[in-house]
Amino acid sequence: MPLVLNEEQNMLKDAAKDFCRNNMPITQLRKLRDENSEAGFDRETWSQMVELGWAGITIPEDFGGLGFGYTGMGVVMEECGRTLACSPLLATAALGAGCILHGGNDDQKNELLPRVAGGELLLALALEETPHHSPYGAATVAERSGDAYNVTGSKKFVLDGHIANKIIVVARSSGEAGDREGLTLVMVDSDADGVDITRTIMADSRNAANIEFSKVQGELLGEEGKGADVLDQVLDIGRILLSSEMLGGLQECFERTIEYLKVREQFGVPIGSFQALKHRAAQMFCEVELSKSVVLEALSALDESADDIAELSSLAKARLNDTYNLVSSEGVQMHGGIGMTDEYEIGFFMKRSRVCEHTLGSSAFHRDRYGVLQGY
Amino acid sequence: MPLVLNEEQNMLKDAAKDFCRNNMPITQLRKLRDENSEAGFDRETWSQMVELGWAGITIPEDFGGLGFGYTGMGVVMEECGRTLACSPLLATAALGAGCILHGGNDDQKNELLPRVAGGELLLALALEETPHHSPYGAATVAERSGDAYNVTGSKKFVLDGHIANKIIVVARSSGEAGDREGLTLVMVDSDADGVDITRTIMADSRNAANIEFSKVQGELLGEEGKGADVLDQVLDIGRILLSSEMLGGLQECFERTIEYLKVREQFGVPIGSFQALKHRAAQMFCEVELSKSVVLEALSALDESADDIAELSSLAKARLNDTYNLVSSEGVQMHGGIGMTDEYEIGFFMKRSRVCEHTLGSSAFHRDRYGVLQGY
Amino acid sequence: MSDMESFRNETRSWLEANCPASMRLPEKEEDMIGGGTKQVFTNPDAKVWLEHMADKGWTAPAWPKEYGGGGLSQEEHGILQDEMMRIGARAPINGMGFSMIGPTLLDYGSEEQKKAHLPKIASGKIRWCQGYSEPAAGSDLASLQTRCEDRGDFFQINGQKIWTSGAQYADWIFTLVRTDPKASKHDGISFVLIDMNQPGVTVKPIRLISGNSPFCETFFDSARCEKNNLVGQLNRGWTVGKRLLQHERSSISGLAGGGRRGRYEALGRLPEIAKQYVGEADGRIAAPALREAVLINQMNQRAFGLTQRRSMEESHSGGTPTFATSMFKYFGSELGKERLELQLEAMGTQSLGWDKQSFDDLESSLTRTWLRSKAGTIAGGSSEIQLNIIAKRVLGLPD
Amino acid sequence: MSDMESFRNETRSWLEANCPASMRLPEKEEDMIGGGTKQVFTNPDAKVWLEHMADKGWTAPAWPKEYGGGGLSQEEHGILQDEMMRIGARAPINGMGFSMIGPTLLDYGSEEQKKAHLPKIASGKIRWCQGYSEPAAGSDLASLQTRCEDRGDFFQINGQKIWTSGAQYADWIFTLVRTDPKASKHDGISFVLIDMNQPGVTVKPIRLISGNSPFCETFFDSARCEKNNLVGQLNRGWTVGKRLLQHERSSISGLAGGGRRGRYEALGRLPEIAKQYVGEADGRIAAPALREAVLINQMNQRAFGLTQRRSMEESHSGGTPTFATSMFKYFGSELGKERLELQLEAMGTQSLGWDKQSFDDLESSLTRTWLRSKAGTIAGGSSEIQLNIIAKRVLGLPD
């Protein structure tokens, strides 16, 4: 699997960098936060992203997408991560579209994917029921009723749940919480009867939702009881693309910190001349470089449907969690007092890093998973 | 519990410091190693230690000891640790004497303890059967036969096992390896029929033994099946006194390293002026100070028969393991090339630290135990 | 009955009689009393409790009685703290008057200054804040530029201070100013006390990443300072200022009284929280990597507490204390930061909420406390500065 | 069939025919072949294998054929390595001739020097060692004092080198010497090659904490060096020396070929060893804290390996490589050290034996490998030096 970008991917990356810098810098996030934006992202900017094709990068051309692959989507996510850009990319284009692509039947794909690529359909994946990522932890019940399914249960931390048009619910038709068998994916309309959505604003100013489902009627996605087969694939896609976003964020945070070390003077010299800070900076550099490699490898694995996607996804997510935490904490510490102010942007990276860490699996989760996959 | 030494303890400490410096400096350890000493310690020096009363510091005066308490013994161990002094103190005076004092009947105490204090009786505790400390792990069998017990099994890593006159064997009269119930302490003569001792020289040039017991006849110490009650107390004594020794070793190692940082010049300045090394030195200083506090508290707890001895013993051993490892590894690294040479003494501390770490419980063992004792 | 026993009994009875019931409940950060002319008492019991304690001199138990303190010996002070803890009594008042400028005036103030300022601190009438840092002088405190000029009758102050905690609530500010711009960096500095209730002093709160504004920028525009408010000698303020910093570091590290109660009590005990949020297996916190990290943190915390006690015992027993305040500041703040990171890990997504509706009290206060904890290793001399000090002053490593 | 396919087929057949069976078994450290006039072949197959490979030029596959190499392209070289790995073929020979002085002569040597020295390295006839460090010049390499004086016909060398690895087995030494004591530190240094088979050169092995003596002190007492053995210009040796250090760091970090085989193969796979010594529960290493640490180490190792590959791909694809050799030296040696500490933890008291009777091969070789691993972060530029280099050269932080 190649660990360098090809020419097309490099062009996409450059374009994404320009777009994010110009159209969704961190000042946009601050504005969305301070104005308590109803959507949590800017709909105008989203339309522009859709025009660039980003909502359908990984969707095959047959279904109205670009068919550009995961490495392509990864470089876009990375640039979004640099500016902490808020958009429905992860929830809709990675997780939601992934469920339809890997679980949906032809009708569903034909009907829904072009609408995703066209930016008009926003999706959310309602998975978690506890404060910790748990792919098979659903206790939410899916009951068959004729051709449809009724869903009852409560979900937490549903990314973009408050603005999705359709919600894909990870529910259970048999077994109990923790069982891999018996999971069933049911897609419901967010305005259907029995859906009660509470938007929750997180520390990074992004949105998740607590959602209650009471006998909500929806349609099956994939096979009854075999939802985990789809879910496993989709979650790995999500983890790897989120890792790409985190890679962008931590690089930006690291670069800003190095720059600050060069210009901030104390005791008559730039603080970057102090050896203790130099060594910590150099150690971070190593972690950043290792992070780039694992993300690239994991993206390539997705594009090539390699057989070690699961391992690489856990390798990437665990490493990116730890490195983003490290770099953002050191970023604040090395900026000193102004790093603690809301006015300065470095703190935004620290907040984002911790929310990312707990999205789709902490380091402890992924290290355990990696070990199990490797047989220890 | 006091965290400062009283006057008597301070006097003992000063005397111990002088004795160790003059009579058992690290050059003695090197000599014992290079000459492949039969005992692994210097018998002449041991006689002098006995004359100073050290073999019986913790043995009550009624049984011929000094009755000076554990804090007293701790300061002696600490000074021995500074010069990496080899002697039977831990195996005989702490573990062996502890078993007799806490497990023996009056006859056994009257007969044996004065001989321990007099330096003529050397003891060993045969506990471990695996490479990892396991207090209740004995599979070795104790079978009653009249008034005596026959012991069969094999033991590893018996400290000073090759020179002990009597060996206290942790055996089992019921249950299976891992059970706290059913342990029975049996004392056998090392020259009894069926005892097969293989001396093993460890990386720190000290001695342990692998010992095979085939139907070896011995006498009961304490109650049949209730050996763990005695063992728990004795092991905590051993752990805390070993921690005292480690405290001495790590302080000496730390001080030598700081001194080296002041005198070794590179790039025209003392290397101790480099901030990255300064910060690491200052961080070690904190760990060293915390280590002093936990050892003192644990020693006081022994002297006062406090109810948190077990917790403090694990607190101390875990911390001293980690700090000794840190300080000795950093010691070698900061000494650079000469730290890697056998001629220079700093490497001896690193070797001793790792053997100490695996004696009477690693940090993982003691952190787990501390957590269980605290209810989490 | 010994004197101490009878002191204990009297104290116990007096507290039982005088500490209102609501003052024995755990205290939220927003309920803490700082005193001063701008203090608002949302709970009238807090006012009563402050007045009772101030009457006894027990707001500042160890200060001499003539300055409004309690005149207690170290042993009596310990007994008072024990007895207050026994019934869970809150501190009647907190703040820099008690932890910083009070002790500094006791060391360096003139008799007139002690008489003028200490009783008003002890009674809670006047609240103080600190004016040390400046935008260009963070860790390099001595490079401060705020000018203080002799105008004959008085001093005139011009410049800007930053990180003046609680300046928006304070009446007076103690501050380091430059009185001789030509002298070398440490030599032209003086320590002066400035009344903030004057037109030349402006205060602007700084919003932090936690969303709170505990700190301000404070601007001096030809502010006036009477000459009797110079503490110590002119141009020798650095000595006074450094001494005060030690008081500050003790206070941040929890070495002073505050540490006894545990700074994160409101966030629950970490091991129990972890069990609650990740479950337990075989009596242990179910997530093994988290458990190991919690154990390391808690065991370090215990060793740290023992070391604080040892330090106090060593100084009582007349030996030379071998520790540096810097060690407590450094290690204590790093431990606290780590503890909060672990609590985040234990509580997962529930620890990262911002809007208070969807999260319970513990959860939303954790998010903000976590963010605020990042200042612990920056303010009052960063961890890096403390390590420099240990290396130089304690270990004697060369510059 | 493409050229590469046919090259692969030919190589495979040739290896099958020419690599003796015993040369396909895992290699113990003591069996490694270093060449030179003092080489003793305990296994005659090793000699046969070396001769076959040397005849093909495949001891130095990428060197030009005219200097005894194989003249292979990068791609062909990769295929050769793959095919050797496929059958588990040992390297026919190793050493500083290949990893350090050979590449350096290719970069900086005169045509005469290349012709004189490279073929003898490739054939295994001459073995080299390195004379850089001196007792007073460790990390501060450029402060070296060994004098090299012009005696008209030849240079005369006086001084002492330390950490000359394998000097007791070597025939020649490449060394940095001071040719102009008056010039500034970096300017008066030259790079010269010295024949060790002369009376003026004395070698004294240094015993290490591991009990082995892989390094020596090497003394020059009016040793002679022909003038045609000056590499590069007089007084410009620092440039040549630095370039060689990069080759050394690549080799220590495992960036060069060696890394492919895994440096600690003889010690077993860490996760399996851990399972064997502490047991397993539910398919996992039974000790949870150890398991977490092993996972961190192994996952870092994998990320590190990917980064080595990325670095190679970036340099092939014509982009500017963004990495520093220093990063690989630093991270690789720290990882290796950590791995051995973990193996000690896993194997407990069985990992700390000294006498070989009571411990098995794995156990007693581990003890010594662990001790030796401590040199990985010191030799070839310590971790501290590497971090300095990254901070300065890669990140551009100021001095």
Work out the minimum CA distance from D238 to partner chain B, whole angstroms: 16
Does C256 score more than 50 pLDDT?
A: no
Does D261 score more than 80 pLDDT?
A: no
3-state secondary structure string, chain A? CCCCCCHHHHHHHHHHHHHHHHHCCHHHHHHHHHCCCCCCCCHHHHHHHHHCCHHHCCCCHHHCCCCCHHHHHHHHHHHHHHCCCCCCHHHHHHHHHHHHHHHCCHHHHHHHHHHHHCCCCCEEEECCCCCCCCCCCCCCEEEEECCEEEEEEEECCCCCCCCCCEEEEEEECCCCCCCCCCEEEEEEECCCCCEEEEEEEECCCCEEEEEEEEEEEEEEECCCCEHHHHHHHHHHHHHHHHHHHHHHHHHHHHHHHHHHHHHCEECCEEHHHCHHHHHHHHHHHHHHHHHHHHHHHHHHHHHCCCCCHHHHHHHHHHHHHHHHHHHHHHHHHHHHHHHHECCCCHHHHHHHHHHHHCCCCCHHHHHHHHHHHCCC
Hey, what amino acid is at C379? A
Q: What is the pLDDT of residues B150-180, one digit of tens each?
A: 999 999 999 999 999 999 999 999 999 999 9
The Cα–Cα gap between D324 and C329 comes to 37
User: What is the rounded average pLDDT for all residues in chain D?
Assistant: 91
Query: Is B203 within 8 Å of D367 when comparing Cβ atoms?
Result: yes
| pLDDT confidence band for D259 (50 / 70 / 90) | very low
Check residue D292 and give its pLDDT.
97
Would you list the DSSP string of B40-64?
SS-HHHHHHHHHTTGGGTTS-GGGT
CATH T-level fold of C253-394: Butyryl-CoA Dehydrogenase, subunit A; domain 3 (1.20.140)
Q: What is the pLDDT of residues D8-67, one digit of tens each?
A: 999 999 999 999 999 998 887 778 899 999 999 999 999 999 999 999 999 999 999 999
Chain C residues with CB under 8 Å of A198 CB are: 357-358
Q: Does D181 touch chain A (CB under 8 A)?
A: no
Check residue C2 and give its pLDDT.
84
Does D260 score more than 50 pLDDT?
A: no
Chain D residues with CB under 8 Å of A318 CB are: 299
Chain B residues with CB under 8 Å of C271 CB are: 371, 374-376
Q: Does C318 touch chain B (CB under 8 A)?
A: no
User: Which of D283, D323, D388 is the closest to A289 by Cβ?
Assistant: D323
Q: What is the pLDDT of residues C97-129, one digit of tens each?
A: 999 999 999 999 999 999 999 999 999 999 999
The Cα–Cα gap between D178 and D184 comes to 11
Q: Does A269 touch chain B (CB under 8 A)?
A: no
Chain B residues with CB under 8 Å of A276 CB are: 275-276, 278-279
Choosing among 3.40.50, 3.30.160, 1.10.150, 1.10.540, the CATH entry for D3-94 is: 1.10.540
Query: Is A132 within 8 Å of C371 when comparing Cβ atoms?
Result: no
Nearest chain D residue (CA) to C286: D288
Q: Does B344 touch chain A (CB under 8 A)?
A: no
3-state secondary structure string, C18-55? HCCHHHHCCCCHHHCCCCCCCCCCCCHHHHHHHHHHHH
User: What is the rounded average pLDDT for all residues in chain B?
Assistant: 97
Q: Which of C292, C294, C297 to mutate to test the interface with D (most CBs of D within 10 A)?
A: C292
Catalytic residue among D27, D76, D134, D248: D248
Q: Which of B279, B280, B283 to mutate to test the interface with A (most CBs of A within 10 A)?
A: B279
Q: Tokens 């002098």 — which residue? A: B48
Query: Is C349 within 8 Å of A132 when comparing Cβ atoms?
Result: yes
Interface of C with B in 324-343 (CB under 8 A): 327, 330-331
Q: What is the dihedral of CA C273, C277, C278, C279, to 10 degrees?
A: 80
Cα dihedral across residues A238, A240, A243, A248: positive or negative:
negative
Question: Can C334 be counted among the known catalytic residues?
Answer: no
User: Which of C163, C351, C352 is the closest to A337 by Cβ?
Assistant: C163
Average pLDDT of span A94-101: 98
DSSP structure class, residue D267: G
Q: Using an 8 Å Cβ cutoff, are C23 and C263 in contact?
A: no
Q: What is the pLDDT of residues D281-314, one digit of tens each?
A: 999 999 999 999 999 999 999 999 999 989 888 8
Residue D312 CA to its chain's centroid (Å): 18
Chain B residues with CB under 8 Å of A279 CB are: 276
Nearest chain A residue (CA) to C377: A333
Nearest chain C residue (CA) to A197: C358
Chain A residues with CB under 8 Å of B279 CB are: 276
- CB-based contacts of D381, cutoff 8 Å, min separation 6: D139, D245, D249, D326, D329, D389
Chains that touch A (3 or more CB pairs under 8 A): B, C, D
- Give chain B's length: 376
Chains that touch C (3 or more CB pairs under 8 A): A, B, D
CB hemisphere CA count around D176 (13 angstroms)? 26
Query: Is A278 within 8 Å of D387 when comparing Cβ atoms?
Result: yes
Check residue C29 and give its pLDDT.
74
Closest CA to D130 of D84, D224, D196, D36: D196
Nearest chain D residue (CA) to C291: D289
Query: Is B272 within 8 Å of C398 when comparing Cβ atoms?
Result: yes
Work out the minimum CA distance from D385 to partner chain A, whole angstroms: 10
Q: Does D281 touch chain A (CB under 8 A)?
A: no
Does B89 score more than 50 pLDDT?
A: yes
Q: What is the pLDDT of residues B255-311, one digit of tens each?
A: 999 999 999 999 999 999 999 999 999 999 999 999 999 999 999 999 999 999 999
Check residue D350 and give its pLDDT.
96
Chain A residues with CB under 8 Å of D384 CB are: 279
Average pLDDT of span D61-88: 93
Chains that touch B (3 or more CB pairs under 8 A): A, C, D
What CATH code is assigned to D128-237?
Answer: 2.40.110.10
Q: Does C281 touch chain B (CB under 8 A)?
A: no
% of residues, chain B, pLDDT over 90: 99
User: Which of D280, D303, D398 is the closest to A273 by Cβ?
Assistant: D398
Q: Does C258 touch chain A (CB under 8 A)?
A: no
Catalytic residue among C217, C248, C313, C338: C248
Q: Does B263 touch chain A (CB under 8 A)?
A: no
Nearest chain D residue (CA) to C295: D289
In chain C, where the domains are located: 3-94, 128-237, 253-394
Q: Does A276 touch chain B (CB under 8 A)?
A: yes
Q: Does D202 touch chain A (CB under 8 A)?
A: no
Q: Please determine whether the domains at C128-237 and C253-394 fall in the same fold group of CATH.
A: no
Q: Tokens 């390539």 — which residue? A: A300
Work out the minimum CA distance from A277 to partner chain B, whole angstroms: 8
Q: Does C287 touch chain D (CB under 8 A)?
A: no
Domains observed in chain B: 7-117 (1.10.540.10), 123-225 (2.40.110.10), 229-373 (1.20.140.10)
Closest CA to D245 of D285, D189, D179, D311: D189
Q: What is the pLDDT of residues A165-215, one digit of tens each?
A: 999 999 999 999 999 999 999 999 999 999 999 999 999 999 999 999 999
Does A1 score more than 80 pLDDT?
A: no
Burial class of residue D307 (count of CB atoms within 10 Å of its CB; 0-12, 13-18, 19+): buried
Low-confidence winner among A244-258, C242-256, D258-272 (lowest mean pLDDT) = D258-272
Q: Does C289 touch chain D (CB under 8 A)?
A: yes
Chain C residues with CB under 8 Å of D292 CB are: 288-289, 292
How does D62-99 read in b/e, with b if 16+ C-beta sit within 10 Å?
bbeeebbbbebeeebeebbbebbeeeebbbbbbbbbbb
Q: Does D289 touch chain C (CB under 8 A)?
A: yes
Q: What is the pLDDT of residues C84-95, one digit of tens each?
A: 989 999 999 999
Average pLDDT of span C363-382: 92
CB hemisphere CA count around D278 (13 angstroms)? 30
Interface of B with D in 59-98 (CB under 8 A): none
